[in-house]
Chains A and B, each alone.
Chain A
């Protein structure tokens, strides 16, 4: 067999790779961006929040162990369960699976790093700082206490006047932004940086699961971001979205929240199922049975999960017909789940499983998750749900699903993948005890809750009377909870004793696993980037590890002298170009710190310091962006096998273009959710929209505004054409002096039209919705008002020209998108009331 590159490799090549990819030391270590470090910090932070939220649960279980207990006050109890749910969802589950992705994906795809390493570092720091302050709020009695679902009007200013609810809205809204940043990174990483030859049908199931996961975040999180925005607008400025007396509707929140909230369950479950699909073949030492079916099941689950949200609202009094639809959709999820479970059973049957700790956790997962799935089908039955809803039956069900479906696979993954990240594997002996305690604990804690719920105990009660006979079952549950706690404690001891972080001399392929993350590793990932010809390359391509390590495959060096990896085509993974990846830096760290500070200061209404931090955050983001978009610094380089690849690419197909498109999908989905909200509020006010006494502005306002929006898009297009023709300053003039003023003017005309017609956002949900639609366009106008001069500055310093225009293209896409969104908004706010009125 002939390899792309000859051996022995030239002297000094390996040393250069090592030097380029070495993480900084000392205080500078905070600026590290390598996915192998950021991924581990990220996992570590997620485990920390898991332990903290678990401690809150133990306090609750202690309070509930006996009836009429007064260990904690009612108010504190409400903070405890709100924080437990919120932290487990937003600070543990989503970040944990995202963190595992940041760590594992580049290794599994044999990329040197993710395409935007500073973005994942930013996401991590923002999450760590924001999450920690959010948690600490409980020590000041400021923790949110409206439940993790935060239903208004309980969380509206009238019934929750203190800052507690704002901590949820701003804190979680902010952490969602971090999750989206990570999701965009993962989409680009999976689609663009796979090893040559790893076409989509050879991609590991885990990478499929993470791709679907990231796509689901992109389409699901906007709903909750919009919901938090609307509720915060209501709380801070009195825009009455959810206040029935002013045209608002509390159910709007529930639709938006659960449109996010149900996919959220699968957002957590799919990556875990992906991990299981990686571990099961290894423990059975046989390829996964039914790979294509499993991939289809993963995609199918992702799609179906968006059609289920109403099953959280069966008891709100919706029409029977719509309930039947959502009931059927909820049950249909049993099919893709069934496919995966039987694929794992078939794989186990086709091989010979050794009962190691990862195997035990997988088996525990199968047992617990199957119970959770079956009770899920039960509660999808509408009449059953009318009894079980909001009782301890649901508490039991959701913990079986989430602990079975996510925590057990995650612990299997810890025991399985630690040898990649650590000098020593975790202890098999201790691991069995960890498994035993957790498995018994989960069943002792949560199985009795099915019964507690069926005999009538509601959720979210701080205590219960003795004469109802719920005491014994609760005591059993509490004992179980402590068993889980003991298991987790033992796990932490195991980690402390055996986990020794390393990138060069890890414990190695101890399980004889087939995928690329088990190749010899260092800070630069693999020495050379292999050609993949199989789904299980380490089993089917003999000698792969030695050849990769010897540098016989692609890119065994650093030809441009910077950090770099190969960008391959999304479907067939053919090498396209070399991307230069940014290394360590302070700007993204400072940007994360000041963004977090800005949000948290807003929460406690310290507006001036918040604005200062916001300005600093924007400044550091720009400073960070200043260093990006390096341009064609180097002529095309030889990566071996006669392949000469360019080191810079712009336009569609480049990684920055993909990332911008992903971001615009988030923005577009947010706007769609706002359109939904507008129409939903109309449905609550049919015949009174706009409300009596409110006039629509004349159509001339709309047409004038539309003309200006169109002009801004056309001018931006002209700027792009003139830039391509080499007329840099004409292009800049068109953009800065043409497109930007046209955009701002259009928004001004649009907004002033409603204002001069007498519409005010505080009066009625109608006005609130109209001004929010304007604000969503305003956010982009504001961004472009900063970004356009930034581009001009780049042009002045020679960082933007005909060839080096990736950052210009980002701005161009933003202009197009903003004009498009604004035109849809105009059509809705001016056209719809006229059409129905």
Chain B
């Protein structure tokens, strides 16, 4: 298509140059109605019709599951400015929830049910498929199939408010065995803290009321407003694609996420005594 477009551009340019520069007696044939009939009507009619047919054929080739294929179903909900990801069983019940990361098995069709909790977002992993809008009150179905293992970046492509620029995520394609292993781990409770320092961090996390908004399965924290943190330490990024998950970044986020990502829903905790944010951060970082 690009090559065709470039050729048409060259043709138009060449004709224009010819019309401008050729000797009057040689360019005369171009200066008639015939030019318009052939160049302006016949030519675009033929090319556009061909292109349209080609387009319809390509559109038909969009991913469809094979007969009897075991399709993995996932619900993805766009929220200002992050992604809620829920893995579903065959009956559509929620198996478990995670955030800002989509794991998918290589070679198998994944069916995403896309919707939104607030404003319109759009789901796009350029390397895997075209984009599809996430519209409140509607559910759009997008089918993906990763052919190679790897980490693919995705980003919101419908302007959704002040932090639209920082609403990214990662799609992690795993080979079948690795995927099954991940699925088992991801659906279980959070790991128990191994050291007293980490236990202390968990205590502070729960006492401060972080669980009002966040869930860490297996603890008392079961909030639903913010992202699920059960395995936050294993994720590709913090803040929906903003930065790597390190204890340092987590502590900075807890202390003042409004400075890092103004307009997200989390209030700043800059009043915490020294070391407290770091303790919580180390605990969260250990949740793998």
Contact = CB atoms under 8 A, between A and B. Distances in A.
B36 A346 contact: yes
A341 B12 contact: yes
A154 B58 contact: no
Interface stretch (B91-99, B153-161, B186-194, B201-209): B153-161
B12 A366 contact: yes
B55 A382 contact: yes
Interface in B162-177: 162-166
Contacts of B165: 74, 77, 460-464
B195 interface: no
Closest 4 CB pairs of A and B: A386-B130, A244-B137, A350-B31, A317-B140
Nearest to B18: A349
A335 B48 contact: yes
Nearest to B48: A331
A349 B31 contact: yes
Interface stretch (A53-61, A228-236, A320-328): A320-328
Given A75-B263, A249-B137, A387-B126, A349 B28 contact: yes
B30 A345 contact: yes
Nearest to A154: B119
A338 interface: yes
Contacts of A339: 36, 40-41
Given A78-B162, A374-B8, A456 B262 contact: no
A795 interface: no
B164 A346 contact: no
A315 B19 contact: no
Nearest to A387: B130
A147 interface: yes
A615 interface: no
B9 interface: yes
B52 A328 contact: yes
Nearest to A328: B52
Contacts of A297: 40
6 contacts: A73-B262, A250-B137, A345-B30, A456-B153, A460-B165, A468-B153
A748 B108 CA distance: 63
Nearest to A457: B155
Given A331-B48, A350-B31, 20 more contacts: A151-B120, A244-B138, A250-B136, A289-B31, A289-B35, A315-B131, A315-B132, A317-B140, A327-B52, A338-B41, A341-B12, A342-B38, A345-B30, A346-B35, A349-B27, A363-B20, A366-B16, A377-B5, A382-B55, A389-B131
Contacts of A468: 153
Given A73-B262, A249-B137, A317-B138, A327 B163 contact: no
A315 B137 contact: no
A157 to B, nearest CB: 12
Interface string B2-29: 1001001100110110111010100110
Interface in B29-53: 30-33, 35-41, 43-45, 47-48, 51-52
A465 B2 CA distance: 28
B122 interface: yes
B18 A338 contact: no
Contacts of A337: 44
B135 A316 contact: yes
Given A327-B52, A332-B48, A349-B18, A342 B133 contact: no
B55 to A, nearest CB: 4
B82 interface: no
A375 interface: yes
Given A375-B5, A386-B130, A387-B126, A335 B31 contact: no
B36 A377 contact: no
A384 interface: yes
B160 to A, nearest CB: 6
Contact of B36 (A73, A293, A367, A386): A293
A151 B157 CA distance: 13
A338 B44 contact: yes
A581 B161 CA distance: 50
A383 B40 contact: no
B135 A250 contact: yes
A622 interface: no
A316 B52 CA distance: 20
A153 interface: yes
A335 B44 CA distance: 6
B100 interface: no
